[in-house]
């Protein structure tokens, strides 16, 4: 039997939602052992001078709790 825990992080990028997601997953994986899945729960961004300035994603990261 396994038990998993969720944590939420926000990734940002000047390039794309995909890059913001990669950033969030990579950073979380450096601090959390056993990361095994992710889910993008929100996508948003900021606007500057009528154009997209930054992409932001809220990502749920799942990881297995150690025995």
Whole-angstrom distance, CA of residue 66 vs CA of residue 17 = 31
**Tens digit of each residue's pLDDT (9 = 90 or more) over 23-66:** 999 999 999 999 999 999 999 999 999 999 999 999 999 999 98
Rounded to two decimals, the pTM is: 0.88
Please give, one letter per residue, the 3-state secondary structure of 38-63: EEEEEEEEEEECCEEEEEEEEEEEEE
- Ranges of each domain in the chain: 4-64
Q: What is the DSSP letter of 51?
A: E
Provide the CATH topology of domain 4-64. Dodecin subunit-like (3.30.1660)
Whole-angstrom distance, CA of residue 32 vs CA of residue 24 = 12
């Amino acid at each position: 039997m396994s038990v998993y825990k969720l944590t939420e992080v926000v990734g940002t990028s000047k390039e794309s939602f995909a890059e913001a997601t990669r950033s969030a997953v990579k950073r979380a994986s450096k601090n959390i052992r056993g990361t095994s899945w992710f889910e993008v729960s929100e996508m948003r961004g900021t606007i500057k001078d009528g154009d997209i300035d930054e992409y932001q994603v809220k990502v749920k990261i799942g990881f297995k709790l150690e025995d």
